Amino acid sequence: MKLLITGFEPFANSQINPSEEVVHALAEKEIEGVELLTLILPVERFAGPDTLIRTYISAQPDVVLSLGEAGGVTAVTIERVAINLLDFSISDNGGHLVTDKPIVADGPSAYFATLPTRQMVNTLTEVGIPAQLSYSAGTFLCNQVMYEMLHYVHKHQMKTPAGFVHLPQLPQQTAGKRPPLPSMSLDVMVAGVTAVIHTITQWFTANRLVQS
C-alpha cells in the first residue's frame, strides 16, 4: 500500500509542530506492507491544500493520511468530518485572516473521512494510547486540507481513502504554561500513528481482496 502522510510546519510563533516531527520520525521507519511517502505542508490558505493536491496527483498514493496539531487535546484525535468553512481565529503563515468564507464555493457542506475511523480509535485504545473520535476538525488549515483532499477525490470520482488525525502538543510546547496544558511525548505519538497505519493497511488490504 502506498501511503501519503502529511504534517504541517510550525505556526502561530511556535518553533515546532508535533505533526511535522512525527512525519520526520516515520520517514526513518520501515512499516511492513507500506510504501511511505512523506510531505510537510505550509500553514497557508492557498499553498497548503495546493501542495497536498499536487503531490497527490504526481505520487498517486493508495491512501492519504494527514496529521495536524491541536493545542489542548489530551489524546490522538481521529477526525470524522470536514466542513466547508474558513473561519480563522489567527492569521496563517501567509498573513491571511479569513472569516466566514466557504472553502469551495457551492461545495457540499461537509465530507466524512473515508478511513476506518472507529477501528483506528479502537486500535489506539488497545495498545494503551489515549484516543478519541472527533466530529469537528475546526475551521483552520487542518479542516481545510481534509476538506479539499476529500473534495478532490469526490469531484474526480476517485476511490482514494483519506482522513485526518489531530495530535496533542509536545511537552516542550506546554512547559511553563499556566494553567498547565495537556501534552504527549513524541515517542508515544509516533507509536500511535504507526498503529493507525497498521490498521489502515489491514483494512485497505481486506477491502482490496473483497473487491477482487
Which residues does the annotation mark as catalytic?
Answer: 79, 142, 166
Residue labelled with grid coordinates 499556566: 178
Distance, in Å, from the CA atom of 144 to the CA atom of 141, rounded to the nearest integer, reads: 5
Residue labelled with grid coordinates 468564507: 101
CA 26, 28, 30, 33 torsion-angle sign? positive
* Cα first-last separation, the chain: 15
- Nearest CA among 112, 121, 115, 134 for reference residue 63: 115
- Residue 3 forms beta bridges with which residues? 36, 63
Contact 144, 156 (CB under 8 A): no
Distance, in Å, from the CA atom of 204 to the CA atom of 190, rounded to the nearest integer, reads: 21
Helices (H), the chain: 18-27, 47-59, 117-126, 141-155, 171-174, 186-211
Contact 147, 138 (CB under 8 A): no
Distances (CA, A) of 78 to 50, 74, 123, 205: 23, 12, 12, 21
